[in-house]
Amino acid sequence: MRFRTAAGALALAATLIGTAVAQSYPAATDVPHTTDVARLRAQAIEREIHERFKRGLDAEARADWTAAVPEFERIIALDPAEPKGSTARYDLAIARARSGDYPAAQRLLDEALARDPGFTAAAANLVSVGVLAGDIAAARRAADRFVALAPASARARYERGIVALRGGDLATAQADFRALAAGDPAYAVAYYDLALIEIRAAHFDAAELELDRALAIDPGYARARFALATVFVRAGRRSEARAAFDRAARDASDVTLRSLALDLRDRL
Amino acid sequence: MTGLRIRWTVLLTLLSVLAAAGGVALSAEASLDELGRSQLRPSAFAELLGPITESGRVGWDCAPEHAAVARTARAAGLPTDRR
């Protein structure tokens, strides 16, 4: 009898606990449905933006730029709040640039930056698009803007350094590659570009030092080895030049560089 | 007198040949130098950063933004094509 009473009490307790659990609700949330016309419209737009972002990004992942363009253009037409508006312009700029429409890509990235001046990826791509367009002056303006926005960024320093070097501004290029090397001393490419700056300025001893640094980090850096060989040629150090051209040819995976290094080695 | 003239002629000819050979050598060295240096190009431009998702820039937490502000070449996705 006692046993039956105890079992009954336990069963009752279990039922009460189960009921209590079943009746505990999470905190109040937004009502999922509405009949308000304005709100329904806003929700429909949000859904469309979401879906078009997904479709546009899927198309870009397939490198199907033609399919990506209308998706992002529609998002821009729907005029979403930030950061979606500038993000859609950024994504559309990629599709435009990949399709070869650089002026449109530049305009879109400018618009993205106007909407969000802190959008560093847009600032970075604006430099790249200027370069792709062959517009070194525009690339330089974009690079100055990128460095001003993110002075500690390795990409900002690298991009402006390369643009400045190609544009003949050796002082800016040198400052940027020095900053890049200071921030990332293991990046051999920075020393290679610094060496090119020294060669253009006819500072061959300094160039040799920079190339030695690059090759100490990466002994198989064929372009740096090739550049060092030309410094040796300039200094009349023929046997060192021959050995350096030979090593550059062996390390080079680029066929043009390899054949040129072999040709120059054989002429010495 | 004739023998002396012949010696001078031979000497001058030899000097001319030597000078010409030296000039050719110097010229070859210079052209080699120019040829080599003309092939020295700056490293490659950085590639475009990739697309960003709809919510990617909420809190700036997306790969392109990280790459744009990274302080190291590897994290920034800078060119490594050195060969």
**Domain map (residue ranges) of chain B:** 1-40, 48-78
Q: Is the pLDDT of residue B1 over 60?
A: no
Distance, CA of A252 to CA of A263 (rounded, Å): 14
Q: In the CATH scheme, what is the homologous superfamily, with its name and number, of domain A185-268?
A: Tetratricopeptide repeat domain (1.25.40.10)
Distance, CA of A266 to CA of B9 (rounded, Å): 36
CB A199 within 8 A of CB A232: no
> From the CA of A47, how many Å to the nearest CA of chain B?
12
CB A97 within 8 A of CB A65: no
Which residue, among B37, B43, B58, would best test binding to A if mutated, counting the most A CBs under 10 Å from its CB? B43
pLDDT bracket for residue B9 (50, 70, 90): confident
Q: Is the pLDDT of residue B26 over 80?
A: no
Would residue A25 be called left, alpha or beta, if left means φ above 0 and alpha means ψ between -120 and 50 degrees? beta
pLDDT of residue B18: 55
Summarize the confidence of residues A200-225 as an average pLDDT: 96
Would residue A203 be called left, alpha or beta, if left means φ above 0 and alpha means ψ between -120 and 50 degrees? beta
pLDDT of residue A2: 56
Q: Which residues of B are less than 8 Å from A156 in CB distance?
A: 68
Rg (CA), chain A: 31
pLDDT of residue B80: 86
Distance, CA of A204 to CA of A46 (rounded, Å): 61
Percent of chain A past pLDDT 90, that is, above it, reads 84
pLDDT of residue A6: 59
Distance, CA of A251 to CA of A154 (rounded, Å): 27
Distance, CA of A129 to CA of A124 (rounded, Å): 9
Q: Mind listing the pLDDT tens digit for each residue in B50-74?
A: 999 998 877 778 999 999 999 999 9
Q: Is the peptide bond before A151 cis (omega within 30 degrees of 0)?
A: no
How many angstroms separate the most distant Cα atoms in chain A?
A: 113
Percent of chain A past pLDDT 70, that is, above it, reads 88
pTM (predicted TM-score):
0.80
pLDDT bracket for residue A179 (50, 70, 90): very high
Q: Mind listing the pLDDT tens digit for each residue in A80-95?
A: 999 999 999 999 999 9
Look at B76 and A50 and tell me if their CB atoms are within 8 Å.
Answer: no
Which residue, among B24, B41, B78, would best test binding to A if mutated, counting the most A CBs under 10 Å from its CB? B78
Cα dist from A184 to A139, A147, A154, A163, A209, whole Å: 24, 16, 8, 20, 18
Distance, CA of A264 to CA of A18 (rounded, Å): 87
pLDDT of residue A244: 97
Summarize the confidence of residues A225-254 as an average pLDDT: 95
pLDDT of residue A33: 72
| Whole-number average pLDDT of chain B | 77
- Please tell me which of the candidates A54, A121, A233 has its beta carbon nearest to residue B32: A233
Q: Mind listing the pLDDT tens digit for each residue in A28-60?
A: 666 557 788 888 899 999 999 999 999 999 999
Q: Is the pLDDT of residue A131 over 80?
A: yes
Cβ–Cβ contact B25 with A under 8 A: no
pLDDT of residue A148: 98
- The pair of structure tokens assigned to A143 is 């690079």
CB A249 within 8 A of CB A265: yes
Distance, CA of A90 to CA of A94 (rounded, Å): 7
Q: Is the pLDDT of residue A158 over 70?
A: yes
Summarize the confidence of residues A174-203 as an average pLDDT: 96
Cβ–Cβ contact B38 with A under 8 A: no
| Whole-number average pLDDT of chain A | 91
pLDDT of residue B39: 76
Cα dist from A37 to A78, A80, A168, B58, whole Å: 17, 19, 60, 28
> From the CA of B18, how many Å to the nearest CA of chain A?
19
Q: Is the pLDDT of residue A8 over 70?
A: no
Q: Is the pLDDT of residue B23 over 70?
A: no
Distance, CA of A143 to CA of A227 (rounded, Å): 27
